Structure 1
Amino acid sequence: MPGPKPLDPSSSPRAMLGAELRHKREEAGLTQEELGRPLFVSGSFIGQLEAGTRRMQMEYAVKMDEILETDGYFARNCEAATKSKYPDHFSEAAEAEAMATAIRQYAPSLIPGLLQTEAYARAVFRAYQPTATEDVIDKLVAARLERAQLLDHPTTPLLWVVLDEPVLRRRVGGRVAMAEALRHIAALARQHRIIAQVLPFAAGAHASLHGSLKLMAFTDAPPLAYVDGLGVGKLLDDPATVSRHELTYDLIGASALSPQESLALIESVAEDYAHEDQP
Protein backbone atom coordinates (compact mmCIF):
# COMPACT_ATOMS: atom_id res chain seq x y z
CA MET A 1 0.00 0.00 0.00
CA PRO A 2 1.48 3.42 -0.94
CA GLY A 3 2.51 5.73 1.87
CA PRO A 4 1.03 9.17 2.50
CA LYS A 5 1.61 11.86 -0.10
CA PRO A 6 4.70 14.01 0.58
CA LEU A 7 3.71 17.45 1.88
CA ASP A 8 5.14 20.74 0.66
CA PRO A 9 5.69 22.82 3.82
CA SER A 10 6.48 25.91 1.75
CA SER A 11 3.05 26.05 0.11
CA SER A 12 1.26 27.67 3.08
CA PRO A 13 1.45 28.09 6.88
CA ARG A 14 -1.15 25.34 7.24
CA ALA A 15 0.90 22.98 5.08
CA MET A 16 3.92 23.77 7.24
CA LEU A 17 2.01 22.93 10.41
CA GLY A 18 0.56 19.81 8.81
CA ALA A 19 3.97 18.54 7.70
CA GLU A 20 5.43 19.12 11.16
CA LEU A 21 2.44 17.46 12.82
CA ARG A 22 2.87 14.34 10.70
CA HIS A 23 6.61 14.28 11.42
CA LYS A 24 6.17 14.65 15.19
CA ARG A 25 3.29 12.16 15.34
CA GLU A 26 5.28 9.51 13.49
CA GLU A 27 8.35 10.30 15.60
CA ALA A 28 6.23 9.66 18.69
CA GLY A 29 5.04 6.34 17.23
CA LEU A 30 1.37 7.35 17.23
CA THR A 31 -1.27 6.59 14.63
CA GLN A 32 -3.70 9.31 13.59
CA GLU A 33 -6.42 7.61 15.63
CA GLU A 34 -4.20 7.45 18.72
CA LEU A 35 -3.36 11.16 18.50
CA GLY A 36 -6.98 12.06 17.92
CA ARG A 37 -8.29 10.14 20.93
CA PRO A 38 -7.17 12.55 23.70
CA LEU A 39 -8.32 15.47 21.51
CA PHE A 40 -11.77 13.89 21.11
CA VAL A 41 -11.46 14.00 17.30
CA SER A 42 -11.30 11.27 14.69
CA GLY A 43 -8.19 9.93 13.04
CA SER A 44 -9.48 11.32 9.74
CA PHE A 45 -9.56 14.79 11.30
CA ILE A 46 -5.88 14.44 12.24
CA GLY A 47 -5.22 13.34 8.66
CA GLN A 48 -6.93 16.45 7.35
CA LEU A 49 -4.83 18.65 9.64
CA GLU A 50 -1.69 16.94 8.36
CA ALA A 51 -2.79 17.36 4.75
CA GLY A 52 -3.60 21.03 5.34
CA THR A 53 -7.26 20.66 4.36
CA ARG A 54 -8.41 21.58 7.87
CA ARG A 55 -7.37 24.54 9.97
CA MET A 56 -5.65 23.89 13.29
CA GLN A 57 -7.48 25.59 16.15
CA MET A 58 -5.55 26.95 19.12
CA GLU A 59 -7.14 24.50 21.56
CA TYR A 60 -5.82 21.59 19.49
CA ALA A 61 -2.42 23.22 19.02
CA VAL A 62 -1.93 23.58 22.77
CA LYS A 63 -2.96 19.99 23.42
CA MET A 64 -0.70 18.66 20.65
CA ASP A 65 2.25 20.54 22.12
CA GLU A 66 1.58 18.69 25.40
CA ILE A 67 1.13 15.25 23.83
CA LEU A 68 4.02 15.48 21.38
CA GLU A 69 6.29 17.50 23.71
CA THR A 70 6.98 20.15 21.06
CA ASP A 71 7.67 23.05 23.46
CA GLY A 72 4.84 25.28 22.22
CA TYR A 73 5.67 24.96 18.51
CA PHE A 74 2.11 24.41 17.34
CA ALA A 75 0.63 27.10 19.59
CA ARG A 76 3.23 29.65 18.44
CA ASN A 77 2.58 28.98 14.76
CA CYS A 78 -1.15 28.43 14.96
CA GLU A 79 -2.11 32.11 14.69
CA ALA A 80 -0.34 32.63 11.35
CA ALA A 81 -1.96 29.51 9.95
CA THR A 82 -5.47 30.64 10.91
CA LYS A 83 -5.43 34.08 9.29
CA SER A 84 -7.86 34.34 6.38
CA LYS A 85 -9.30 36.94 4.02
CA TYR A 86 -12.68 35.18 4.20
CA PRO A 87 -15.46 35.45 6.83
CA ASP A 88 -14.94 33.18 9.83
CA HIS A 89 -17.83 30.88 8.96
CA PHE A 90 -16.48 30.27 5.44
CA SER A 91 -12.71 30.52 5.80
CA GLU A 92 -12.05 26.82 6.41
CA ALA A 93 -14.27 25.83 3.50
CA ALA A 94 -12.58 28.31 1.13
CA GLU A 95 -9.13 27.07 2.11
CA ALA A 96 -10.17 23.43 1.69
CA GLU A 97 -11.77 24.28 -1.65
CA ALA A 98 -8.41 25.55 -2.91
CA MET A 99 -6.86 22.13 -2.23
CA ALA A 100 -9.71 19.97 -3.54
CA THR A 101 -9.36 17.76 -6.60
CA ALA A 102 -13.14 17.69 -7.12
CA ILE A 103 -15.96 19.98 -5.99
CA ARG A 104 -19.64 19.13 -6.33
CA GLN A 105 -22.12 21.81 -5.36
CA TYR A 106 -25.89 22.27 -5.24
CA ALA A 107 -26.93 25.93 -5.35
CA PRO A 108 -30.56 26.69 -4.46
CA SER A 109 -30.73 30.47 -4.95
CA LEU A 110 -27.43 32.04 -6.09
CA ILE A 111 -24.73 31.28 -8.62
CA PRO A 112 -21.85 29.60 -6.70
CA GLY A 113 -18.98 31.92 -5.82
CA LEU A 114 -16.50 30.15 -8.10
CA LEU A 115 -18.73 30.95 -11.07
CA GLN A 116 -19.74 34.51 -10.28
CA THR A 117 -18.83 37.43 -12.52
CA GLU A 118 -17.70 40.75 -11.05
CA ALA A 119 -21.05 42.49 -11.60
CA TYR A 120 -23.00 39.58 -10.12
CA ALA A 121 -20.69 39.31 -7.08
CA ARG A 122 -20.89 43.07 -6.49
CA ALA A 123 -24.69 42.95 -6.49
CA VAL A 124 -24.66 40.03 -4.03
CA PHE A 125 -22.33 41.76 -1.57
CA ARG A 126 -24.18 45.07 -1.85
CA ALA A 127 -27.41 43.26 -1.00
CA TYR A 128 -25.72 41.61 2.00
CA GLN A 129 -24.22 44.90 3.22
CA PRO A 130 -26.36 47.81 1.96
CA THR A 131 -24.55 50.44 4.07
CA ALA A 132 -20.97 49.26 3.52
CA THR A 133 -18.46 51.60 1.88
CA GLU A 134 -17.37 50.97 -1.70
CA ASP A 135 -13.91 50.06 -0.41
CA VAL A 136 -15.36 47.22 1.68
CA ILE A 137 -17.41 45.94 -1.25
CA ASP A 138 -14.39 46.18 -3.56
CA LYS A 139 -12.33 43.99 -1.21
CA LEU A 140 -15.09 41.38 -0.94
CA VAL A 141 -15.49 41.25 -4.72
CA ALA A 142 -11.73 40.99 -5.24
CA ALA A 143 -11.50 38.07 -2.80
CA ARG A 144 -14.34 36.28 -4.58
CA LEU A 145 -12.82 36.76 -8.03
CA GLU A 146 -9.48 35.55 -6.67
CA ARG A 147 -11.20 32.35 -5.52
CA ALA A 148 -12.54 31.87 -9.04
CA GLN A 149 -8.97 31.70 -10.35
CA LEU A 150 -9.08 28.03 -9.29
CA LEU A 151 -10.76 27.46 -12.64
CA ASP A 152 -7.81 28.90 -14.55
CA HIS A 153 -6.26 25.42 -14.40
CA PRO A 154 -7.57 23.47 -17.40
CA THR A 155 -8.68 20.36 -15.51
CA THR A 156 -8.32 20.64 -11.72
CA PRO A 157 -10.42 20.87 -9.68
CA LEU A 158 -13.30 19.09 -11.34
CA LEU A 159 -16.30 21.35 -10.72
CA TRP A 160 -19.81 19.91 -11.01
CA VAL A 161 -22.68 22.20 -10.09
CA VAL A 162 -26.41 21.69 -9.94
CA LEU A 163 -28.26 25.01 -10.12
CA ASP A 164 -31.83 25.16 -8.92
CA GLU A 165 -33.97 26.99 -11.48
CA PRO A 166 -34.44 30.03 -9.17
CA VAL A 167 -30.70 30.69 -9.66
CA LEU A 168 -31.44 31.42 -13.31
CA ARG A 169 -34.59 33.42 -12.67
CA ARG A 170 -33.49 35.62 -9.76
CA ARG A 171 -32.42 39.02 -11.16
CA VAL A 172 -29.21 39.65 -9.26
CA GLY A 173 -27.72 42.93 -10.50
CA GLY A 174 -30.30 43.40 -13.25
CA ARG A 175 -30.83 41.90 -16.70
CA VAL A 176 -27.41 42.85 -18.13
CA ALA A 177 -25.54 41.34 -15.18
CA MET A 178 -27.67 38.21 -15.35
CA ALA A 179 -27.10 37.75 -19.08
CA GLU A 180 -23.34 38.08 -18.54
CA ALA A 181 -23.34 35.72 -15.55
CA LEU A 182 -25.30 32.96 -17.29
CA ARG A 183 -23.24 33.27 -20.48
CA HIS A 184 -20.11 32.87 -18.34
CA ILE A 185 -21.43 29.58 -16.94
CA ALA A 186 -22.46 28.41 -20.40
CA ALA A 187 -19.02 29.24 -21.81
CA LEU A 188 -17.28 27.19 -19.12
CA ALA A 189 -19.62 24.29 -19.81
CA ARG A 190 -19.02 24.50 -23.57
CA GLN A 191 -15.27 24.55 -22.93
CA HIS A 192 -15.74 21.34 -20.90
CA ARG A 193 -14.22 23.08 -17.88
CA ILE A 194 -17.24 22.46 -15.66
CA ILE A 195 -20.27 20.20 -15.55
CA ALA A 196 -23.48 22.16 -15.03
CA GLN A 197 -27.01 20.89 -14.51
CA VAL A 198 -30.25 22.71 -13.79
CA LEU A 199 -32.85 21.36 -11.37
CA PRO A 200 -36.13 22.59 -12.91
CA PHE A 201 -39.20 23.78 -11.04
CA ALA A 202 -40.99 20.80 -12.56
CA ALA A 203 -38.84 18.44 -10.46
CA GLY A 204 -40.95 19.39 -7.45
CA ALA A 205 -39.77 18.23 -4.02
CA HIS A 206 -36.16 17.03 -3.92
CA ALA A 207 -33.53 15.75 -1.53
CA SER A 208 -32.01 19.11 -0.55
CA LEU A 209 -34.96 21.40 0.03
CA HIS A 210 -33.23 22.41 3.27
CA GLY A 211 -30.52 24.41 1.46
CA SER A 212 -27.15 24.45 -0.27
CA LEU A 213 -24.56 21.69 -0.25
CA LYS A 214 -20.91 21.46 -1.25
CA LEU A 215 -18.82 18.28 -1.39
CA MET A 216 -15.03 18.32 -1.71
CA ALA A 217 -12.67 15.44 -2.50
CA PHE A 218 -8.90 15.36 -2.00
CA THR A 219 -5.99 13.26 -3.14
CA ASP A 220 -4.58 12.49 0.31
CA ALA A 221 -7.36 13.28 2.78
CA PRO A 222 -10.95 12.13 3.42
CA PRO A 223 -13.78 14.02 1.68
CA LEU A 224 -15.55 16.97 3.30
CA ALA A 225 -19.06 18.37 3.11
CA TYR A 226 -19.94 22.02 3.67
CA VAL A 227 -23.40 23.35 4.50
CA ASP A 228 -24.23 26.98 5.19
CA GLY A 229 -26.94 29.47 6.01
CA LEU A 230 -27.24 33.17 6.81
CA GLY A 231 -23.83 34.07 8.24
CA VAL A 232 -23.14 30.52 9.39
CA GLY A 233 -21.38 27.55 7.84
CA LYS A 234 -20.20 24.14 8.92
CA LEU A 235 -17.49 21.92 7.50
CA LEU A 236 -18.32 18.25 8.08
CA ASP A 237 -15.87 15.35 8.10
CA ASP A 238 -17.75 12.53 9.82
CA PRO A 239 -17.70 9.70 7.22
CA ALA A 240 -21.33 8.70 7.77
CA THR A 241 -22.51 12.31 7.51
CA VAL A 242 -20.47 12.96 4.38
CA SER A 243 -21.81 9.75 2.81
CA ARG A 244 -25.37 10.86 3.53
CA HIS A 245 -24.72 14.21 1.85
CA GLU A 246 -23.12 12.45 -1.13
CA LEU A 247 -26.32 10.45 -1.54
CA THR A 248 -28.32 13.69 -1.33
CA TYR A 249 -26.24 15.20 -4.13
CA ASP A 250 -26.65 12.08 -6.27
CA LEU A 251 -30.43 12.24 -5.84
CA ILE A 252 -30.46 15.93 -6.81
CA GLY A 253 -28.41 15.19 -9.92
CA ALA A 254 -30.77 12.37 -10.87
CA SER A 255 -33.72 14.79 -10.72
CA ALA A 256 -31.95 17.52 -12.72
CA LEU A 257 -31.88 18.08 -16.46
CA SER A 258 -29.03 16.48 -18.37
CA PRO A 259 -25.94 18.65 -18.95
CA GLN A 260 -27.00 19.17 -22.60
CA GLU A 261 -30.56 20.16 -21.69
CA SER A 262 -29.24 22.33 -18.87
CA LEU A 263 -26.85 24.18 -21.17
CA ALA A 264 -29.68 24.88 -23.61
CA LEU A 265 -31.84 26.29 -20.81
CA ILE A 266 -29.03 28.43 -19.36
CA GLU A 267 -28.27 29.93 -22.78
CA SER A 268 -31.95 30.47 -23.51
CA VAL A 269 -32.52 32.36 -20.26
CA ALA A 270 -29.35 34.39 -20.87
CA GLU A 271 -30.69 35.41 -24.29
CA ASP A 272 -34.03 36.34 -22.75
CA TYR A 273 -32.23 38.71 -20.37
CA ALA A 274 -30.05 40.13 -23.13
CA HIS A 275 -32.93 40.95 -25.48
CA GLU A 276 -35.46 42.00 -22.90
CA ASP A 277 -36.84 45.50 -23.45
CA GLN A 278 -35.60 48.14 -21.05
CA PRO A 279 -38.36 49.16 -18.58
Structure 2
Amino acid sequence: MSIQWFPGHMTSARKKAAETLAMADVVVEVLDARLPQASSNPMIHELRAFRQRPCLKLLNKADLADPLATKAWLDYFAQQPGVKAVAISCKKPGDVARVPALAQQLAPHRNDAVKPLRLMIMGIPNVGKSTLLNALVKKKVAAVGDQPAVTKSQQRIDISSRLTLYDTPGMLWPKIAHPVDGLMLAASHAVGVNAYIDIEVATFLAAFLLDHYPALLTARYGFPTQGSDAVAVIEAIAKKRGCIIKGRGGELDLEKAAAILLVDYRSGALGRISLETPTLRAARASTLEQPVAVDGEKD
Protein backbone atom coordinates (compact mmCIF):
# COMPACT_ATOMS: atom_id res chain seq x y z
CA MET A 1 0.00 0.00 0.00
CA SER A 2 1.35 3.42 -1.00
CA ILE A 3 -0.09 6.22 1.15
CA GLN A 4 -0.27 9.68 -0.39
CA TRP A 5 -1.93 12.81 1.05
CA PHE A 6 -1.37 16.32 -0.30
CA PRO A 7 -4.46 18.55 0.14
CA GLY A 8 -4.71 21.58 -2.13
CA HIS A 9 -3.94 24.14 0.56
CA MET A 10 -0.45 22.64 0.98
CA THR A 11 0.62 23.88 -2.47
CA SER A 12 -0.17 27.49 -1.60
CA ALA A 13 1.32 26.98 1.88
CA ARG A 14 4.62 25.92 0.34
CA LYS A 15 4.75 29.00 -1.90
CA LYS A 16 3.99 31.31 1.02
CA ALA A 17 6.58 29.55 3.19
CA ALA A 18 9.24 30.07 0.54
CA GLU A 19 8.50 33.80 0.52
CA THR A 20 8.47 34.15 4.29
CA LEU A 21 11.67 32.17 4.78
CA ALA A 22 13.56 35.05 3.16
CA MET A 23 12.70 37.10 6.27
CA ALA A 24 13.37 34.40 8.87
CA ASP A 25 16.66 33.76 10.65
CA VAL A 26 16.13 30.21 11.93
CA VAL A 27 13.84 27.40 10.89
CA VAL A 28 12.30 25.64 13.88
CA GLU A 29 11.28 22.26 12.48
CA VAL A 30 8.93 20.28 14.70
CA LEU A 31 9.32 16.51 14.27
CA ASP A 32 7.63 13.49 15.77
CA ALA A 33 10.27 11.97 18.05
CA ARG A 34 8.94 8.49 17.29
CA LEU A 35 9.87 8.87 13.60
CA PRO A 36 12.17 11.88 13.31
CA GLN A 37 13.36 11.31 9.76
CA ALA A 38 10.10 10.05 8.28
CA SER A 39 8.38 13.12 9.76
CA SER A 40 10.94 15.52 8.28
CA ASN A 41 9.59 17.12 5.11
CA PRO A 42 12.31 17.15 2.41
CA MET A 43 10.77 20.34 0.99
CA ILE A 44 11.64 22.12 4.24
CA HIS A 45 15.26 21.07 3.84
CA GLU A 46 15.27 22.31 0.25
CA LEU A 47 13.77 25.67 1.20
CA ARG A 48 16.13 26.35 4.08
CA ALA A 49 19.16 25.10 2.12
CA PHE A 50 18.32 27.54 -0.68
CA ARG A 51 18.16 30.41 1.82
CA GLN A 52 21.07 29.02 3.86
CA ARG A 53 19.10 29.10 7.08
CA PRO A 54 20.10 27.07 10.15
CA CYS A 55 17.61 24.66 11.67
CA LEU A 56 16.55 23.86 15.20
CA LYS A 57 14.98 20.41 15.09
CA LEU A 58 12.52 19.79 17.92
CA LEU A 59 11.89 16.08 18.49
CA ASN A 60 8.44 16.61 19.98
CA LYS A 61 6.44 13.93 21.80
CA ALA A 62 9.72 12.64 23.22
CA ASP A 63 7.75 11.39 26.21
CA LEU A 64 6.07 8.89 23.84
CA ALA A 65 9.27 7.79 22.11
CA ASP A 66 11.84 5.15 23.05
CA PRO A 67 14.55 7.14 24.90
CA LEU A 68 17.38 5.03 23.48
CA ALA A 69 16.17 5.66 19.93
CA THR A 70 15.79 9.37 20.68
CA LYS A 71 19.37 9.58 21.91
CA ALA A 72 20.56 7.89 18.72
CA TRP A 73 18.70 10.47 16.64
CA LEU A 74 20.09 13.39 18.64
CA ASP A 75 23.61 12.05 18.05
CA TYR A 76 22.80 11.64 14.35
CA PHE A 77 21.47 15.17 13.88
CA ALA A 78 24.41 16.60 15.84
CA GLN A 79 26.65 15.58 12.96
CA GLN A 80 24.77 17.78 10.47
CA PRO A 81 26.09 21.30 9.82
CA GLY A 82 23.84 24.17 10.74
CA VAL A 83 21.54 21.89 12.74
CA LYS A 84 20.79 21.71 16.45
CA ALA A 85 18.40 19.04 17.73
CA VAL A 86 16.68 18.67 21.08
CA ALA A 87 14.08 16.27 22.46
CA ILE A 88 11.08 17.97 24.05
CA SER A 89 7.40 17.71 24.83
CA CYS A 90 5.52 20.79 23.67
CA LYS A 91 3.03 20.10 26.47
CA LYS A 92 5.71 20.84 29.07
CA PRO A 93 6.20 24.60 29.62
CA GLY A 94 9.76 24.08 30.83
CA ASP A 95 10.73 22.34 27.59
CA VAL A 96 9.15 25.05 25.43
CA ALA A 97 10.81 27.82 27.42
CA ARG A 98 14.20 26.57 26.20
CA VAL A 99 13.37 27.00 22.52
CA PRO A 100 14.15 30.73 21.97
CA ALA A 101 17.56 30.46 23.61
CA LEU A 102 18.42 27.34 21.62
CA ALA A 103 17.42 29.10 18.40
CA GLN A 104 19.41 32.15 19.42
CA GLN A 105 22.56 30.03 19.45
CA LEU A 106 22.06 29.43 15.73
CA ALA A 107 21.70 33.15 14.97
CA PRO A 108 23.82 35.00 17.55
CA HIS A 109 23.81 38.17 15.45
CA ARG A 110 20.04 38.59 15.92
CA ASN A 111 19.90 39.47 19.58
CA ASP A 112 18.42 42.92 20.17
CA ALA A 113 15.47 45.17 19.35
CA VAL A 114 17.22 46.49 16.24
CA LYS A 115 17.78 42.96 14.95
CA PRO A 116 15.10 40.79 16.57
CA LEU A 117 15.31 37.03 16.25
CA ARG A 118 12.83 35.78 13.63
CA LEU A 119 11.81 32.14 13.93
CA MET A 120 9.85 30.21 11.33
CA ILE A 121 7.98 27.23 12.79
CA MET A 122 7.59 24.45 10.24
CA GLY A 123 6.74 20.77 10.14
CA ILE A 124 4.33 18.17 8.83
CA PRO A 125 0.72 17.97 10.09
CA ASN A 126 -0.09 16.91 13.64
CA VAL A 127 3.42 17.00 15.10
CA GLY A 128 2.60 19.72 17.65
CA LYS A 129 3.40 23.02 15.95
CA SER A 130 0.27 24.74 17.24
CA THR A 131 0.83 23.43 20.76
CA LEU A 132 4.39 24.81 20.61
CA LEU A 133 3.22 28.19 19.35
CA ASN A 134 0.53 28.56 22.01
CA ALA A 135 3.06 27.67 24.71
CA LEU A 136 5.61 30.18 23.39
CA VAL A 137 3.04 32.98 23.21
CA LYS A 138 1.40 31.83 26.47
CA LYS A 139 -2.09 32.09 25.06
CA LYS A 140 -4.17 30.34 22.42
CA VAL A 141 -3.25 31.84 19.06
CA ALA A 142 -3.35 28.64 17.00
CA ALA A 143 -6.03 25.98 16.77
CA VAL A 144 -5.08 22.62 18.24
CA GLY A 145 -6.80 19.40 17.20
CA ASP A 146 -6.35 15.66 17.04
CA GLN A 147 -6.72 15.66 13.26
CA PRO A 148 -3.90 16.59 10.88
CA ALA A 149 -3.93 19.88 8.93
CA VAL A 150 -5.90 21.91 11.48
CA THR A 151 -3.80 25.01 10.66
CA LYS A 152 -4.32 26.10 7.04
CA SER A 153 -2.89 29.63 6.94
CA GLN A 154 0.30 31.36 7.97
CA GLN A 155 0.52 33.97 10.70
CA ARG A 156 3.12 36.31 12.18
CA ILE A 157 3.30 36.90 15.92
CA ASP A 158 5.54 39.49 17.58
CA ILE A 159 6.23 38.06 21.02
CA SER A 160 8.48 40.97 21.99
CA SER A 161 10.72 43.58 20.39
CA ARG A 162 13.40 40.90 20.30
CA LEU A 163 11.44 37.86 19.05
CA THR A 164 9.08 37.29 16.12
CA LEU A 165 7.45 34.00 15.16
CA TYR A 166 6.08 32.90 11.81
CA ASP A 167 3.67 29.97 12.12
CA THR A 168 3.09 27.87 9.00
CA PRO A 169 0.52 25.18 8.15
CA GLY A 170 1.59 21.57 8.33
CA MET A 171 3.00 20.49 4.99
CA LEU A 172 3.62 17.06 3.56
CA TRP A 173 5.33 16.60 0.22
CA PRO A 174 3.60 15.73 -3.08
CA LYS A 175 4.82 12.15 -3.27
CA ILE A 176 5.87 9.91 -0.38
CA ALA A 177 8.39 7.80 -2.25
CA HIS A 178 8.61 4.78 0.01
CA PRO A 179 5.62 2.86 1.41
CA VAL A 180 7.16 2.34 4.86
CA ASP A 181 7.34 6.11 5.41
CA GLY A 182 3.68 6.46 4.51
CA LEU A 183 2.75 3.68 6.90
CA MET A 184 4.72 5.26 9.75
CA LEU A 185 3.12 8.65 9.07
CA ALA A 186 -0.35 7.12 8.98
CA ALA A 187 0.24 5.14 12.17
CA SER A 188 1.30 8.37 13.87
CA HIS A 189 -1.75 10.29 12.58
CA ALA A 190 0.14 12.70 10.31
CA VAL A 191 -2.04 12.09 7.25
CA GLY A 192 -5.78 12.40 6.75
CA VAL A 193 -7.88 9.36 7.56
CA ASN A 194 -9.20 9.24 4.00
CA ALA A 195 -5.71 8.41 2.75
CA TYR A 196 -5.39 4.98 4.37
CA ILE A 197 -7.23 1.96 5.74
CA ASP A 198 -6.88 1.40 9.48
CA ILE A 199 -6.42 -2.34 9.31
CA GLU A 200 -3.58 -2.11 6.79
CA VAL A 201 -1.72 0.44 8.87
CA ALA A 202 -2.42 -1.51 12.07
CA THR A 203 -1.06 -4.68 10.43
CA PHE A 204 2.19 -2.84 9.68
CA LEU A 205 2.31 -1.52 13.25
CA ALA A 206 1.58 -4.94 14.76
CA ALA A 207 4.37 -6.54 12.73
CA PHE A 208 6.79 -3.84 13.87
CA LEU A 209 5.80 -4.24 17.51
CA LEU A 210 6.25 -8.00 17.30
CA ASP A 211 9.78 -7.48 16.04
CA HIS A 212 10.82 -4.67 18.39
CA TYR A 213 8.43 -4.33 21.36
CA PRO A 214 6.63 -7.67 21.93
CA ALA A 215 6.64 -7.25 25.71
CA LEU A 216 4.62 -4.04 25.39
CA LEU A 217 1.91 -5.89 23.46
CA THR A 218 1.70 -8.53 26.17
CA ALA A 219 1.66 -5.93 28.94
CA ARG A 220 -1.12 -3.94 27.29
CA TYR A 221 -3.40 -6.70 26.01
CA GLY A 222 -2.53 -9.71 28.13
CA PHE A 223 -1.71 -12.34 25.49
CA PRO A 224 1.59 -14.04 24.62
CA THR A 225 3.14 -13.02 21.31
CA GLN A 226 5.46 -15.96 20.70
CA GLY A 227 4.66 -17.57 17.36
CA SER A 228 2.18 -14.81 16.42
CA ASP A 229 2.10 -12.80 13.22
CA ALA A 230 0.60 -9.35 12.68
CA VAL A 231 -2.88 -10.66 11.79
CA ALA A 232 -2.89 -12.88 14.87
CA VAL A 233 -2.09 -9.87 17.03
CA ILE A 234 -5.07 -7.92 15.72
CA GLU A 235 -7.31 -10.98 16.14
CA ALA A 236 -6.09 -11.38 19.72
CA ILE A 237 -6.84 -7.73 20.48
CA ALA A 238 -10.33 -8.21 19.05
CA LYS A 239 -10.91 -11.20 21.34
CA LYS A 240 -9.51 -9.47 24.42
CA ARG A 241 -11.53 -6.30 23.86
CA GLY A 242 -14.75 -7.98 22.76
CA CYS A 243 -14.70 -6.62 19.23
CA ILE A 244 -17.51 -8.67 17.69
CA ILE A 245 -19.62 -7.83 14.64
CA LYS A 246 -23.28 -7.98 15.68
CA GLY A 247 -25.43 -10.50 13.87
CA ARG A 248 -22.48 -12.25 12.26
CA GLY A 249 -22.23 -15.30 14.47
CA GLY A 250 -19.42 -14.05 16.67
CA GLU A 251 -17.22 -12.84 13.79
CA LEU A 252 -14.36 -10.68 15.03
CA ASP A 253 -14.46 -6.97 14.21
CA LEU A 254 -10.88 -6.57 13.04
CA GLU A 255 -11.41 -2.98 11.92
CA LYS A 256 -12.38 -2.01 15.46
CA ALA A 257 -9.42 -3.92 16.90
CA ALA A 258 -7.10 -2.18 14.43
CA ALA A 259 -8.41 1.20 15.56
CA ILE A 260 -7.78 0.24 19.19
CA LEU A 261 -4.15 -0.63 18.43
CA LEU A 262 -3.59 2.63 16.55
CA VAL A 263 -5.15 4.76 19.28
CA ASP A 264 -3.12 2.99 21.98
CA TYR A 265 0.10 3.64 20.06
CA ARG A 266 -0.72 7.27 19.29
CA SER A 267 -1.71 8.07 22.88
CA GLY A 268 1.27 6.33 24.44
CA ALA A 269 -0.93 3.76 26.19
CA LEU A 270 1.23 0.99 24.70
CA GLY A 271 4.40 2.49 26.12
CA ARG A 272 7.35 4.42 24.73
CA ILE A 273 7.85 3.34 21.13
CA SER A 274 9.96 4.60 18.24
CA LEU A 275 9.24 3.40 14.71
CA GLU A 276 12.72 4.12 13.38
CA THR A 277 16.32 4.62 14.43
CA PRO A 278 19.22 5.82 12.25
CA THR A 279 20.44 2.21 12.02
CA LEU A 280 17.02 0.82 11.18
CA ARG A 281 16.42 3.52 8.58
CA ALA A 282 19.73 2.74 6.91
CA ALA A 283 18.85 -0.96 6.88
CA ARG A 284 15.46 -0.23 5.31
CA ALA A 285 17.14 1.99 2.71
CA SER A 286 19.45 -0.84 1.70
CA THR A 287 16.47 -3.00 0.74
CA LEU A 288 14.96 -0.38 -1.56
CA GLU A 289 15.78 0.35 -5.19
CA GLN A 290 16.18 3.99 -4.20
CA PRO A 291 17.50 4.93 -0.75
CA VAL A 292 15.13 6.45 1.78
CA ALA A 293 15.70 10.18 1.84
CA VAL A 294 17.86 11.44 4.73
CA ASP A 295 17.81 15.12 5.58
CA GLY A 296 20.77 16.82 3.99
CA GLU A 297 21.37 14.04 1.48
CA LYS A 298 20.04 13.35 -2.00
CA ASP A 299 18.01 10.34 -3.05
Please give the TM-score of this superposition, normalised by the length of structure 2.
0.26
Which structure is richer in relative contact order (CA contacts within 8 A, separation 6 or more)?
2
Please give the TM-score of this superposition, normalised by the length of structure 1.
0.27
Decide which structure has greater helix share.
1
